[in-house]
């Protein structure tokens, strides 16, 4: 009896240890949704790109157009767009998240590791964005459990359909299984074109957006995820290895010198195009305002002419009677009875 009890206790302890170890990895076995295999169609599409389920991946999010992109590394090392998914809902307005409870979805650069995957989410499946990151903490920004998840509803997160998050989750799972320690998540207010920047030129977040635009430009040119860090409370990119940066301290000279000529040229061209677009939008707004004022003046003049004409004829014929009152002097006479014919 004693040996049987000890055996039961040992088995129970072993099960408990196994459960704890499984929880450390972030991917809990036995969850059918989290462990569902990729569809053969998805695997074939990856092969068509020159990639595979185990290859590295990267995710980009664009708020304004409600898009989530998955990029996969190909055999030659560059990244290609695998698929663009529609985001059902995201919270707040364009701009970064500031504090817990502001119902604002974050923007910036984040690193997603296996430990941030949530197979038991109340919203089908999910992965944590990693907010707040080093940049967010430098500004004292707060928030927790900012996810990309299913269920098509959002309270500060990015919500997908269950079908979409199932595929995205499986792609991340297979990438981790392939030996990749993380994937990069880049979140932007919109595609960082000169036209979009000009459209939001008076937004108070413009300096922040210009900061993250460098990372956007680097990816657009290289088609590879950027390495990022923070100094002087700004994002900096592709910092030389071994350089330790203080998020609140000044950036080393080597960081400022580490911007490729192609990135500088693109930034200069975009700044010029943005300035021109801002001028075009201002001219268009001024023209529309002038046309609206002209139309209003014409309506006012027409109304004044109508009132003057009415007043003139009213004066000629004795004025207008009070509405609803019949003027006896203007009532037609009653005709006399017809006389009989002789």
Is 149 among the residues known to form the active site?
Answer: yes
Among the options 88, 157, 231, 251, which is catalytic?
157
How many other C-beta atoms can be found within 10 angstroms of the C-beta atom of residue 242?
A: 5
If we measure between CA atoms, which residue out of 154, 151, 179 comes closest to residue 166?
151
* Parallel/antiparallel/unpaired status of strands 147-149 and 126-128: antiparallel
- Please answer whether residues 81 and 69 qualify as being in contact, where contact means their C-beta atoms are separated by less than 8 angstroms: yes
If we measure between CA atoms, which residue out of 39, 143, 65 comes closest to residue 98?
143
Is 157 among the residues known to form the active site?
Answer: yes
- Max distance between CA atoms of the chain, in angstroms, equals 145
If we measure between CA atoms, which residue out of 87, 90, 91, 89 comes closest to residue 102?
91
The whole-angstrom separation of Cα 148 and Cα 172 is 12
CA-to-CA separations, 271 to 64, 162, 277, 285, in angstroms, rounded: 21, 40, 10, 21
CA-to-CA separations, 72 to 1, 3, 164, 181, 195, in angstroms, rounded: 58, 55, 16, 15, 28
If we measure between CA atoms, which residue out of 106, 112, 114 comes closest to residue 58?
112
The whole-angstrom separation of Cα 88 and Cα 157 is 11
- List residues with catalytic annotation: 149, 157
């Amino acid at each position: 009896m004693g040996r049987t009890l000890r055996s039961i206790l040992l088995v129970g302890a072993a099960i408990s240890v196994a459960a704890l170890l499984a929880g450390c990895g972030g991917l809990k076995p036995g969850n059918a949704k989290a462990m569902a295999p990729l569809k053969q169609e998805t695997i074939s599409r990856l092969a068509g790109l020159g990639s595979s389920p185990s290859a590295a991946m990267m995710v980009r999010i664009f708020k304004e157009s409600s898009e989530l992109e998955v990029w996969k590394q190909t055999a030659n090392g560059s990244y290609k767009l695998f698929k663009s998914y529609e985001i059902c809902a995201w919270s707040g307005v364009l701009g970064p998240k500031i504090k817990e409870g502001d119902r604002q979805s974050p923007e910036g650069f984040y690193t997603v590791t296996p430990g941030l995957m949530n197979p038991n989410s109340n919203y089908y499946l999910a992965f944590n964005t990693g907010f707040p990151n080093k940049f967010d903490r430098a500004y004292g920004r707060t928030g927790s459990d900012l996810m990309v998840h299913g269920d098509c509803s959002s309270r500060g997160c990015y919500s997908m359909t269950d079908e979409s998050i199932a595929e995205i989750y499986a792609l991340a799972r297979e990438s981790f299984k392939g030996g990749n320690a993380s994937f990069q998540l880049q979140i932007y207010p919109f595609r960082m074109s000169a036209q979009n920047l000009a459209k939001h030129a008076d937004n108070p977040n413009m300096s922040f957006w210009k900061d993250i635009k460098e990372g956007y430009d680097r990816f657009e040119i290289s088609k590879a995820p950027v390495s990022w860090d923070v100094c002087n409370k700004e994002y900096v990119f592709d910092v030389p290895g071994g350089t330790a940066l203080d998020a609140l301290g000044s950036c080393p000279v080597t960081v400022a010198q580490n911007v490729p000529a192609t990135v500088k040229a693109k930034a200069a061209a975009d700044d010029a195009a943005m300035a021109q677009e801002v001028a075009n939008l201002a001219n268009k707004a001024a023209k529309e305002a002038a046309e609206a004022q002209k139309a209003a003046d014409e309506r006012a003049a027409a109304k004044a002419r109508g009132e003057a004409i009415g007043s003139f004829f009213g004066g000629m014929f004795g004025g207008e009677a009070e509405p609803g009152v019949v003027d006896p002097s203007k009532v037609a006479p009653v005709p006399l009875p017809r006389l009989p014919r002789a």
